[in-house]
Amino acid sequence: MNTTPTKVTVIAPARLHMGFIDLSGSLDRHFGSIGLALNNYETKLSLTASHRSYVSREAPSRTLQCVQQLCQKLGVSDQVHVDVQSAIPAHIGLGSGTQLALAVGMALNVFYQLDLSIRDIAHLTDRGGRSGIGIGVFEKGGLVVDGGRGQHTITPPVLVQMPVPEGWRFILLLDRRGQGLHGDGEIQAFKKLPPFPKEEAARLCYLLLMQGLPALAEQNIDEFGSVITQLQRSVGAHFSPAQGGAFTSHEVGEVMAWCSEQGAVAIGQTSWGPTGFCAVQGDQQASALVRAAKQQFGHLVNLEYVVTQARNQGAKIIVE
């Protein structure tokens, strides 16, 4: 006989969205994307029974809405207490919405013993409409490539999941003043974008399959980074009419260009930004680059540097 849990805790990792592969849908599959799970930012919440529905600490209104909507869809009581101990910052390109929705959904799933999959929860919460990276990193962590959306796709399938070398460091550059496009703004932006060239989608697919992923397997950060930079330049140029340039934040773009000149690789912006990223080999190189960037761009007071690494495991679920 199963024992009903008294407390369920879910810890979900943030993610870098490194870009789309085919925005044209030239083979009747739209989008397809690459990204990876991150260590420094996470959404952590605990769910217990309660005499009423309420949420405490981080992101209360957003979380409460998610809890109540999911409970209604699942046909279970919303008399639960959700304590959000930490939340991924919203709308800066780190996947906060997807990770919160999946964390709440899986907590309810385990608490009420519903035997649903992560994919079931993603479908119920309308996640994976374009990219499957958030779902993939919740499931498994590491680097993920998804296959986009076909005519009958429910959630984008994960085609590749690979561990990222422990020694690689990713420098995130945050602009405290802004948020990337989201919600209706994002939907309208996609509608207004011009067609993506079929030949360019083919080039990106070939680069990723025959250079980027083999380089990751062989732990060659320079070759891997070169592919990500090329992909980012291509997709950034395509999105530039909607976001005012290849980078949402011009200051982030300026610093990222400088980092490239200093030897950093995998230069880009995660999702709609404004967060930029680059990669280097090891803590020493990361610390030296951040220190030099702060000296060079000390006048850009709204920027924040974060050194992190990939997380090679998915969400953690703890049952008490």
Check pLDDT > 80 for residue 59.
no
- Which of 190 and 130 is assigned the larger pLDDT? 130
Range list for CATH 3.30.230.10 in the chain: 7-164+312-319
Which pLDDT score is estimated for 287?
Answer: 98
- Average pLDDT of the residues of the chain: 94
Please tell me the predicted confidence (pLDDT) of residue 98: 97
- 208-267 per-position pLDDT tens digit: 999 999 999 999 999 999 999 999 999 999 999 888 899 999 999 999 999 999 999 999
Whether the predicted pLDDT of 1 surpasses 70: no
Tell me what the mean pLDDT of segment 131-150 comes to: 97
Give the C-alpha separation, 100 to 88, whole Å: 8
Q: What is the pLDDT of residue 271?
A: 94
What local confidence, expressed as pLDDT, does residue 118 receive? 98
Q: What per-residue string of b and e applies to 197-222 under the rule 16 or more CB within 10 Å gives b?
A: eeebbeebeebbeebbbebbeeeebe
Residues of the chain with pLDDT > 70, as a percent, come to 96
Fold entry, domain 168-308: Alpha-Beta Plaits (3.30.70)
Is residue 179 scored above 80 in pLDDT?
Answer: no
The per-residue pLDDT for 55 is 86
For CATH 3.30.70.890, the residue range(s) in the chain are 168-308
- % of the chain exceeding 90 in pLDDT: 84
Q: What pLDDT score does 27 carry?
A: 85
pLDDT of residue 186: 65
CATH 3.30.230.70 fits 7-164+312-319, yes or no: no
Per-residue pLDDT tens digits for 194-209 = 889 999 999 999 999 9
Q: Write out pLDDT tens, residues 168-177.
A: 999 999 999 8
- Residue-wise pLDDT for 253-287, tens only, equals 999 999 999 999 999 999 999 999 999 999 999 99
- Would you place residue 180 in the very low, low, confident or very high pLDDT band (cuts 50, 70, 90)? low
| Range with the poorest average pLDDT among 19-28, 80-89, 100-109, 153-162 | 19-28
Rounded mean pLDDT, 118-131: 96
